[in-house]
Structure 1
Amino acid sequence: AAEIAQCLAATLSPDTNTRIAAELKISELSAHPEAGVALSQIVSSQDSDLALRQMSLLHRHSASIVLRKYVKERWSPFFSQFRGSAPPPEIKSQIRQAVFQGLSDPLRKIRSLSASCITSSPFKKHGLCAVTLSLIANCDWPEEYPDLLSSLIGLLSSQSTDSVHGAMQVFVEFVKADLTEDQLLPVLRQLLPVLLNVLGATDQHSPLTRSRTIAVFNQCIDALFMVKDSYPQAVKEATASVLPVWLDAFKVLLAIDPKQDVENTPNWDGLIVRAQVFKTLEVIHKSFPKVLAPYLPDFLNASLHHLNSLFPTFSQSYITSQLPVPMTSEDDTFDLVQLVIPLLDFVSSVARGGKAKQWFDSNTIAALTSEVMKWVQMTSDDEEEWATNANTFIAQDSDESAPYSTRAAGFELIAMLLERYPKSLGTTFQSLIQQIIAESQQARDAGNDSWWKSLEAVLAALGSLSEPILDFIEDEEVSGRPKPIDIPTLLTSVVPSLLGLSQFPFLQGRGFVFASQYAKLLPPQLVGQYLEAAVQVVEAPDAGIPVKISAIKSIYNFFDAAQGSEFVNIAPRIAQDIGPFLLVTTEDTLSLVLDTLSVVVETDKAKWVNANLASSLVGAILEVWTKFNKDPILLSILTDILASLAGSPSPGVYQTVVTQALPPLSQAIAPSNETWIASAAIELITSLVRGAPDSGLGDGFFSTLAPNLFQSLKTAEDRDIIQNGISCLTLVIRKDFDQLRTWTNPSTNETGLDSVLAVVAKQLQAEDESGGLVIGDLIIHLFRKAGEAVLPVLPGLLQAMVARMPNVSTATFAQSLIVPFAFLIHNGQRDTVLSLLETTNINGRNGLDILINAWCENMETFQGFWATRISTLALCSLYVSERPSLQNLVVKGDLIFKAETSNVIMTRSRTKKIPTEFTSIPFPVKALKLLLHDLQSGGEAAAMGLGDGGLSDVASDDGDDDWDDDERKHQGFKEEEFQFLSDMLGPRGVAFDNDEALDINDNDDEDLKADPISQIDLKEHLFTFFRECASRNTGNFSAVVDQLTADEILVVRRVVSGEQ
C-alpha cells in the first residue's frame, strides 16, 4: 500500500518524467492482487490527503481511473480488457468491502467526482466508488456478490444522506444493466418502497438525491415494460399496486409552485426533481397508459402552470440574459430547458394518444398555445451563436438536422395540436397572431430591444407548419368555410415591412423564409417582388449571415414550389450569384446552397443555361466533390445538379459539361485504396449519362470511361463500386448501346459486350451478393437492347444464372437471376428457354426444376412495378404451355400449421425444436396460388368480401384505446384518410398494382415505365387468364383448382363467373 501511495503521489509531480515513471510503476504493481486492495483502501480511507485520494482514482485523464482500470484488466475474464489471472476470492471480498464503504464517504468529491460527463445531465455524474462498484456488480452479482442488493437497500434505508446519495448512484445504472427478467420483479418489490421514502424525505435528502430516486423508478418502468409479455399477470399486478402510489407522489410534487425553486435560491436543484417527474410521466404514458389516464387532467394542468410560472425566469435568464443561470449544488449545469423539453414532450405525447380529449378544449388549447409561443422565442445565446455560425443557424431551422431544443419541442407540440384539434388551434392561432403583432409593436415603441422575438417566434411556428396549415386552409375553403388562419393578410400587410429591418436580421430573415413557405398563397406579382428582394440580399456585400442564409433558403422554397418556368428569367442571375458560395461554405450551409442551386438549374429543364455558366458551375461542383467526396448527402445533390446541367438542351452545354467533367472523373475511377472516391466518381459519371440527349452519349464518351470502369469492376470488392459501376453500365446500355458494342479495349482487344459479360460472370461467381438487384437490371436491358448480338452467348449465360440459383441467399439477387428468364419467356422465347433448361444438369438437378422452385419461392418478394408484372405474365405463359416437364414438377406449397405452435411466439430456440414445414404441391397448383395472391394482395378479394379474414375484431391491450370512434371504425385513420387509401388501393380506382401512383417501389427506370408491359391492365389480364383456362380446362384446370384452399376456390369461382 505504501509503495502504491508513493507512486500516486509521484503522479502529481509537475515533472513529466517523474509522472510517467510513476504511472508505469502503478501499471506494473497492478499485476499483483494486493494492488487492488491497496487502491481500494486509499479510496476508502478518510485520513489520506484529499488530493492524493482523488489522484488514486485518476489515471492520465478524469475518465481513466486507476481502480476502475484495475477491475477491468485484473478482475475477471468477464471483462473484454482482462489480462492475467484474477485475484483470489478473499482479495475480491476485501476490495468490494472497501469500495462499498466508499459509497458512504462524507466527501462528495469521492462519492461524486465526474467519471465521464457525456451530456449535461447531472445523472451522468456517478461517484468513483459507484462507478467501480457498478462494474464489479455487473460481473459478480448475484452469484459471487449475493448480498449486494440487500446492502444497497440498507444504505438507502439508513439515516445517512451520504450513504443514500452513494447508493442511489449505483442504482441508477444497476436496474438498467444488471437485472434479468427473473430478478426484476422481486428486486422492485424491495426497492421501490425505499425509493419512495427517500423521495418524500424533503428535509433529509437533497433535491439531486431525490431526483435520482425518480430516475431509478423511470428505469424500473422501462424494465417492467420489457418483461410485460413474459410475465403479464405479475407486471399487471405490480403496476396496479405501485404506479398509483408514485403518481400520487408526483401530483403532490408538481402541485408545489415551481417559483420556489428558482426565486431566492442559490441553485435550481428543485427543478431537476420536476424534470425527472415529466420524463417518467412520458415513459408511463407510453408503457402503461391505462394506469395513467385518470391522472392526466391533473398533470396537464400542472404542465400548463409550470410553463406560466417559470416563463419570467426563462425570459430574464435566457431571452434577455439579465440574470445568470446558477450551478447545481454538485457544481454542474442545469438549464431550465432541461425541464421544459420533457414537459412539452409529455404534453405532446398525451395529445397524440387521445386519452385526455376533454382537457384539450378550446380554452386550454388557447392557453397552452399562448404559453408555448413564449418559450419558443430565440434566446440571447441563440442570437450570439447563430449570428456567427451559419451551419448552426441553418441546422436549427431544419426538419432533418435541428438539435432538439425548447423551440423544436414547442413546434412539435403545436404540430400535434394542429393534427388532433385543427379547428380549435386555427382559431387560437388567428387571435394569437394579432395579439403578438400588437404587443411586439408596443414593446418596440417602448424601446424594448427584444420586441421582435415574439413576432419572429410566431412566424417561425407558422412556417414550420406550412404544409399542414395549407392543407387545412384548402380543406376549409373547399367546405365553404372561412380561412381559419389569415395567412394572406400577413403576407401582404405585415411581412413586407420586415424585409427592410436590417438592424434586426433574424426577424428580417424570418420574413423572407415565411413568405417563401407560403408562396402558394402569394399573388404572382408579389412572389416576384419577394424573390427580387431575396436576390438583392444575396448580392449585398454587407448583409449578415442570418439574413443572407434566410434569403437563400427563401429562394430555394420559391423555386421548389414553382410551377413550370415562371422564374426562368431570374434563374441565370441566381445561379451566377449562388455559384461562388459553393467554394466558401461547408456542412449545412453548403448543403443549402447546393439544394438551392439544384432546384434553380431544374427550372425549365435548364434551357436557359449557356456554356459559360455551365462551365463555371461544373468547375465549382468538381471542386466541392474533391473536398467532400465522403459525404453521401452532398454527393446526391451534386449528381442531381450535374444531371440537370448535362440534360440542358441549350446548344453546347452538354458537350461543355462532359468535356470538363468526364476526364477527371474517369481518372478518379482507377483502382486505389480510396474506394469511396471511385464509387462517388462513378455516381457523378452516371449523372452525366442520365442527362445525355436521346441521340446518344457523344463521340468518345465511352472510350474515355470504359477502361477504368471495367478495370475497377474487375478488381473491386467494395459494394458501392460494384453497385454504382453496374448501374452506370446499365444506363450506358440504355442510352447508347451501339457505342458500347463498337468499343474495343485497346489493351486486351476485348469488346464492350465481352467486358459486360465478364462483369456479369464475376457477380455470378461471387459469394458476396452485393450486386443484388442491379445485376438483374443490367441483364434485362442487355437482352432488350442487344438483340441478336447476345444470342451466341445466351445459352451459356442462362445456364450460369440457373447454376447460381441454388446458392442464393438474398431475395434481391434471386430476383436478378429469375426476372431475365421471365422476360425471355414472355417475349416469345418460352419454348427455347424451357428446352434449354430441360437438358441442363446442375449437380444432378434439372435446370428447369431449379428455376421453377426458385421462382415460386421468391416471387412474392419481387420488387418493382415492371418486375412483378413480367413475373406474373410469364407465370401465366408457363401455366398455359401445358408442358409435361412443368406438370410433373413439385414445389414448396403452404405452411403446415401445428397445434404446438398455435398462438405461441416462435423464438429461435423453439424454431430449432419445432422447425417450420411446408407441403409439397405440383407446380400448376402453386402457379394458380401465386396468381390468385396477386389479385388478393391488390384488393380484389377485399372488394369481393374475402380479404378481411375476421381479423378486425381481435382484442388488444392498449392498441386502439387512443383512437376516437371514427378512427376505430377505420383502423386508426379518420374517415377521409381511410377513404383516400381505399380509393388508392381498391380495384375500382387506381390499378391495384400501380406502385407509381402510391409513390412506393418506384424503382423502375424510364425505359421500363414506357415498356408495353407497364401499360397492360394486369387485373383484366388475370381475369381473362382464369376464365379462358376454365372454359378450355387448360392444364386440367378444374382438377388443379380442386387442390386449392377453400378461400382460393371461392375467389376462382367468383372471377370465373364474372363477379367484380
Structure 2
Amino acid sequence: MQVFTEFIKDDLTEDQILPVLRQLLPVLLSILGSAESHSAPTRARTVSVFHQCVTALFMVKDQHPQATKEAVASVLPVWLEAFKVLLKVDPKQDVSNDNWDGLTTLDTIHTSFPRALTPYLQEFLTDSLVHLQALHPTFEAYYLSSSESVPRSSEDEAIELPQLICPILDFAAAATRGGKAKNWFSTENLNALIAAVISFVQMTDEDSLIDRSPAATSKAFQLAIEQVVHTSQQMREGGKKDWWKPLEATLAATGSQAEAILDCIDDEVESGREKPINVEYLLSNIVPSILTLSEQPFLQGRGFVFASQYSKLLPAELANQYLTAAVQVIEATEAGIPVKISAVKAINNFCQGGEDATLINFVPRIAKDLGPFLFATSDDTLSLVLETLSVVLEVEKDPIFLSILTDILATLAGSPTNGIYEAVVKQALPPLSSAIASSKPTESWVSGSAIELITSLVQGSPESGVGEGFFAMLAPNLFEALGETDDRDVLQNGIACLTIIVRKDCNQLLTWNDQSGRSGLDYVLNIIAKTLDSQDESGGLVIGDLIIHLLRRAGESVLPVLPQLLQAMVGRMLTAKTATFLQSLVVPFAFLINNQRDTVLTLLEGTNVNGRSGLDILIQTWCENAETFQGFWPSRISTMGLIQLFISERPSLQNLIVKGDIIVNKSNKDVIMTRSRTRTTPTEFTSIPFPVKAVKLLLHDVRSGGESATIAHGGGDTYDIDSDDGDEDWTEEEKQNQGFKEDEFAFLSDMIGPKGMAFDNDDVLDDSDDEDLKNDPISQMDMQQHLVSFFKECASRNTNNFSALVGQLSVEETLVIRQVVGA
C-alpha cells in the first residue's frame, strides 16, 4: 500500500493517472470491505491510497475535465457508501479491548470534490458527533488521567486517539465553513457539538462555529459551562483527583473565543436582545474561588488568564483585585512556575486591554517583579516575559516601548540626551560579550540572545559610530562563537550584528586586528565563506545584506580579496536551490556591475568554475531568478545592473545564450486560476541571446508600472472554472467578496495593501528597509522615467543592434516598446 501511495504521488504522468486508477480503485475497495480476510491496518491503508488517488484526480481535472468528472461520478459514491458503513460501526467496539487496530480504519475522509460529498454531509456529521461522544471516556482514561498506557497495534505500533479525533474536528470545522449542512446545525446538534469540542479542548481550541452562528454558539457555551461547573463540583465532593480538568478545559475553550464572544455580546445588546452568555457571573462568582486553589496550579493559572481575556467586562474595582492577585502570585516564593507564567500572561492581557488609570499604580511593581524572570525563563517563556515587560512599560509612556527588550535597548541607546548611549553600553556590553563566549554548546540560545541584544545597542548608536573600544571588546568573543558554532540562529544573529556594525562604523572593523595580527575583514570573509559552503540556505538574505554593505562601506579595502570572494559566490550559484539564497549571491554582482562594470566583467570572464566561465554562470542565474527578487532596493539594483550589462555591448555577453520564455502547449489556455485552482507549469523554455533576455526583463519592469503583478491587474484572461468549490452555497455577501464576509475581505485587503499588492511589494519603501538603502540614490530615483529614457536612447542610437533585437520579442512586448519610444 505504501508503494502504491508513493507511486501515485510521484511517478505517474497526467495521461497515466486515470487508466491506473480505473484498475486500482476496485481492488482497493474489495480489500477495504473484506474484514474477514485482511487486518484493520491493511484495510486502513487502502483509505490512504484512496486519499492519494483523489488528490491525483484533483490535480488533473483541469487537463482532463470530462474524464475526471466521469471518474468522480462512478468512483466517489461507491467509496462514500463504504465509509457510511464503516462509520456506523460503534467505535466503543474498537476500544473495548487492548487492540485498537480498528480505529485506523476510521480516519478522516479528505476529498477535493465537495460537490460529490454534499449528499453525505449531514449523515457524516451525525456519525462524527457520535464518535466524539463515544470516544471521550477512553480519551479521558488514557490521556487525561493517564491511568492506563496506550495500547499497541498488532504491528506493535502505538495508535493514538488524536489520529482519529483531530480529523473529526477538522471535518466538522470544514463543514461549518462550507455552509452546505446548515440544517444539521440545529440547537440540539449545536449544543452537543460544542460540549464535545470542549471535552477535547486540551487537544485543540479551534472552533469555527462562533464565526457562523455567534449568538447560538455563545448560548451553547453558557449551557456547557453551567453543566461543567456542576459536574466538577460533584466530582470534587466525590473525591476524584481529576475533578478540575473539565473546568480548566471549559475555561480554556471559552477564553480562546473571548474576542468573538465579546463582539457577539456587544451586537446582541445593541440590538436590544439579552446577552447570550453571562461571563460576568463567572468572573464574580466562579473564577475568584479558583485563584486560591494553589494545590491545582493549572486550574489556578487558567483562572488568571480567563479573567484577563474578559477584562473588558470587569469593573475597575474587580480588575484591581485580579491584578493584585496576579502580582502577588508572581512575588510568592511558594507559587509554582505554571501559575506564575499564567499570571504573567494575565498581566500582559490586562495591560493591553485595561485602562491606564487602573494600571498605572501597578507598573513599577510589575516591572520590578518581571526582572528576575529574564534569568530563569526558557525559550518558550522568554518572549512572553519580554512582551509583557514591553506592554507594562507602555502604560502612560511613549509608544516606543511597545516592542520587546531588544527594541527597548535600541531606544535607550539612541536617546539624544548626552551620556545615555555611553552609559547603556558601559552597563550592557561587557556582560553581553561575556555571555557570547561563556555559554555551553547545549545553550546556544544564550549566545544568540546576547548577540541579538548587542545588535540592538548598535542600532541605537549615534551617527558618529559605536564608540571607541566597542568593537575591540566584542570582536574576540563574537568571531570565536561564529567560527565554532553550527547553530543556525546564532550564525544568523552574528551575521546581522556584523552587518549593522559595517553600516554604522565599518572603520572599527577594518582597523581591528587580533593578537596574531589577523584582521577583522579576514574574519568576516571567513564567516561569509562558511555560510556559502553550508547546505543550509535559510540565511540567504542575511548573508546577502552583509556582502552588500561590506562592498558599499569597505571601498578599496576589499579590492585585494574581491576576486576570491566573487569566485566563491559564483561557485555557490551552481548548487544553490532557494530563491532568497540565489538573490543574496546575484544582487552583490548587480551592485558591483552598476558601479565598476568593466572591472567586474573582466574578472568574471577570467574565472573558471567546473569548466564554465564565471560570467556564464552569473548571467544564467541572474536571468532565471531576476523576476523573483524581493525587496525595494535589490529589485532596483538588479534593474540598473541589467541596464549596464546591455549598454556595455560586450562580445562575451552578446554571444551568450540563456533561457527565454516558457514554451506553452497551444491547447492550454493561459489563464489565472481563481481561489484554490492549480496549474501545471511547463518546464521547457526557448533559447535566446542574453541581450534579448535583458530587454524582456527590463520591459517587465516597465509593464508592471511600479506595482507587483497580481490577479487584480495582471495580464491574461481571468475566469472562474465551474468545478467543485461549492460556491453555489455562498451567500451574496461572500460572492461579492471572493468567498469571504465583507469584514473578512476588508481585513485581508488591509493586510495585502492597495491594488492587491503582495506582502513583499518591491515598489514601496517599507519601514523595515534599512536607512542606508532608503537613502541610496537608487532608491530615490524615478525608475519608470529612467527606463523610458533608456529605451528611447537605445532606439535612437541602435545600441546593441536594438532594432534587430526588437524583432525577437513577442507581439505584446513589441507594442510596449513602440509605446515607450513613441514609434
Candidates 988, 995, 1007, aligned match of 2:771: 1007
Letter in 2 for 1:408: M
User: Which amino acid in the other structure matches residue 687 of structure 2?
Assistant: F
What amino acid is aligned across from residue 663 of structure 1 in structure 2?
Answer: S
The answer to whether structure 1 residue 656 and structure 2 residue 435 are counterparts is no
- Secondary structure of the corresponding residue to residue 407 of structure 1: coil
Name the aligned partner's letter for residue 1007 of structure 1. E
Matching residue within 554, 570, 576 for 1:805: 570
Residue 987 (structure 1) shift: 5.5
Q: Pick the aligned partner of 1:894 from 653, 656, 660.
A: 660
Contact 2:712–2:755 (CA under 8 A) maintained in structure 1:
no
Aligned to 1:408: 203
- Distance 1:235-1:901 versus aligned 2 partners, 3 A rule: closer
Deviation readout 1:429-476 (Å, 9 max, x if unpaired): 1464267348736975998568866554332112223455567778x5
From the CA coordinates, give the structure whose radius of gyration is larger.
Answer: 1
Deviations 1:121-176 (A, max 9, x none): xxxxxxxxxxxxxxxxxxxxxxxxxxxxxxxxxxxxxxxxxxxxxxxxxxx88977
Match of 1:842 in 2: 606
CA contact (8 A) 2:433 2:477 kept: no
Deviations along 1:807-847, one digit per CA (max 9) or x if unpaired, are 62325454334433544676xx4xx5346636874259998
Q: Does 1:866 align with 2:633?
A: yes
**1:418 and 1:813, CA in 2 relative to 1: closer, same or farther beyond 3 A?**
same
Q: Tell me if the contact between 1:436 and 1:454 (Cα under 8 Å) persists in the aligned partners.
A: no
Q: Is the 8 A contact 1:939 1:985 kept in 2?
A: no
- Is contact 2:363–2:392 with CA below 8 Å preserved after alignment? no
Give me the whole-angstrom Cα distance separating, in 2, the residues matched to 1:538 and 1:694: 35
Matches of 1:551 and 1:735, distance apart in 2: 40
Q: Give, in whole Å, the separation in 2 of the partners of 1:865 and 1:485.
A: 50
1:705 aligns with 2:484: no
8 Å contact 1:498–1:507 — kept in the other structure?
no
* Equivalent-residue separation in structure 2 for 1:332 and 1:807 (angstroms): 43
Residue in 2 that maps onto 1:463: 255
CA–CA distance in structure 1, aligned partners of residues 153 and 105 of structure 2:
19
1:833 to 574, 597, 607: 597
Alignment partner of 1:736 out of 486, 505, 508: 505
Deviations 1:304-330 (A, max 9, x none): 34556777x679968998999998999
The one of 690, 699, 704 equivalent to 1:929 is: 699
**Matched ranges for 1:527-606 at <5 A:** 529-543=321-335, 546-558=338-350, 570=362, 573-574=365-366, 576-578=368-370, 590-602=378-390
Aligned-pair CA distance for 1:513: 0.6
Instruction: Check the 8 A contact 2:623/2:659 in 1, yes or no.
Output: no
Q: CA deviation at 1:360?
A: 3.3
Instruction: Summarize the alignment of residues 36-51 of structure 1 with structure 2, pairs less than 5 Å apart.
Output: none
Tell me the secondary structure at the aligned position of residue 717 of structure 2.
Answer: coil
Partner of 1:381: none
Match of 1:112 in 2: none
Residue 225 of structure 2 corresponds to which residue in structure 1?
A: 436
Secondary structure of the corresponding residue to residue 660 of structure 2: strand
Give the equivalent residue in structure 1 for 2:171: 346
Which blocks of at least 5 consecutive residues in structure 1 are unaligned?
Answer: 1-171, 200-204, 377-405, 610-636, 669-673, 905-910
Contact 2:51/2:111 (<8 A) preserved: no
Residue number in structure 2 paired with 1:502: 293
Q: Provide the secondary structure at the position in 2 that maps to 1:895.
A: strand
Q: State the one-letter code of the partner of 2:345.
A: K
Native 8 Å contact 1:665 1:682 kept in 2: yes
Q: Distance in 1 between matches of 2:53 and 2:339?
A: 50
Report Cα offsets for 1:381-423 as digits up to 9, x if no partner.
xxxxxxxxxxxxxxxxxxxxxxxxx6324x33xx22234x1xx
User: What residue number does 1:218 align with?
Assistant: 47
Equivalent residue, structure 2, for 1:427: 216
SS state of the match for residue 462, structure 1?
A: helix
Q: 2:710–2:758: 8 Å Cα contact kept in structure 1? A: no
Tell whether the 8 Å contact from 1:834 to 1:848 is kept in structure 2 after alignment: no
CA distance in 1, matches of 2:685, 2:725: 31
Distance 1:716 1:769 in 2: 16
Distance in 1 (CA, whole Å) between partners of 2:259 and 2:536 is 44
Preserved CA contact (<8 Å) 2:292 2:300: yes
Alignment correspondent of 1:1022: 784
After superposition, where does 1:307-456 map in structure 2 within 5 Å?
307=132, 341-360=166-185, 364-373=189-198, 375-376=199-200, 407-409=202-204, 411-412=205-206, 415-419=207-211, 421=212, 424-430=213-219, 432-433=221-222, 436-437=225-226, 440=229, 444=233, 448=237, 455-456=247-248
Aligned equivalent of 2:461: 694
| Displacement after TM superposition at 1:190 (Å) | 5.0
Aligned partners of 2:286 and 2:763: how far apart in 1? Answer: 39
Is the 1:682–1:724 contact (alpha carbons within 8 Å) kept by the matching residues of 2? Answer: yes
- Residues 561-588 of structure 1 deviation map (CA, whole Å, 9 limit, x = unaligned): 7899996764554455455567777xxx
Q: Quote the offset at 1:268 in angstroms.
A: 2.0
1:74-113 matches, within 5 Å, as: none
Partner AA of 2:716 in structure 1: G
Shift of 1:758: 6.3
Paired residues of 1:727 and 1:774 also in contact (CA < 8 A): yes
- Distance between the aligned counterparts of 2:796 and 2:84, measured in 1? 74
Which secondary structure does the structure 1 equivalent of 2:203 belong to?
Answer: helix
Structure 2 length-normalised TM:
0.72
Tell me the CA shift for residue 362 of structure 1: 5.7
Q: Is the 8 A contact 1:837 1:848 kept in 2?
A: yes
The alignment covers a number of residue pairs equal to: 771
1:949 to 710, 716, 732: 716
Contact in 1 for aligned 2:412/2:421 (Cα 8 Å) = no
Letter in 2 for 1:820: P
- What SS does the corresponding residue of 1:732 show, helix, strand or coil? helix
Aligned partners of 1:571 and 1:603 also within 8 Å: no
- The separation in 2 between residues aligned to 1:821 and 1:333, in whole angstroms, is 54
Deviations 1:472-491 (A, max 9, x none): 778x5999898986687468
2:584 aligned to 816, 821, 830, which one? 816
| 1:286 counterpart (103, 111, 135) | 111
* Kept in 2: contact 1:803–1:842 (CA 8 A): no
- 1:977 deviates by 4.1
Query: Structure 2 CA distance, aligned partners of 1:487 and 1:1054?
Result: 67
Q: Which amino acid letter does the alignment assign opposite residue 801 of structure 1?
A: L
Measured in 2, the distance between the counterparts of 1:346 and 1:766 equals 42
Cα distance, 1:532–1:806 mapped onto 2, change above 3 Å: same
TM-score when normalising by structure 1: 0.58
Letter in 1 for 2:222: I
- Which residue of structure 2 aligns with residue 511 of structure 1? 303
Instruction: Tell me which amino acid in the other structure corresponds to 2:293.
Output: S
Tell me, yes or no, if structure 1 residue 268 matches structure 2 residue 96: yes
Where relative contact order (Cα < 8 A, 6+ residues apart) is larger, the structure is: 2
Superposed CA deviations along residues 639-667 of structure 1, whole A, max 9, x for unmatched, are 88987998896984542222223135246
Q: Distance in 2 between matches of 1:319 and 1:860?
A: 51
Q: Percent identity?
A: 40
Tell me, what secondary structure is at the counterpart of 1:602? Answer: helix
Partner Cα distance (2:664, 2:423) in 1: 70
Deviations 1:71-103 (A, max 9, x none): xxxxxxxxxxxxxxxxxxxxxxxxxxxxxxxxx
Counterpart for residue 4 of structure 1: none
- Closer/same/farther in 2, CA of residues 948 and 521 from structure 1, 3 Å limit: farther
**CA contact under 8 A between 2:115 and 2:726: conserved in structure 1?**
no
Q: 1:1046 to 1:333 in 2, by over 3 A?
A: closer
The one-letter code sitting in structure 2 at the alignment partner of 1:870 is I
Shift of the alpha carbon at 1:493? Answer: 4.0
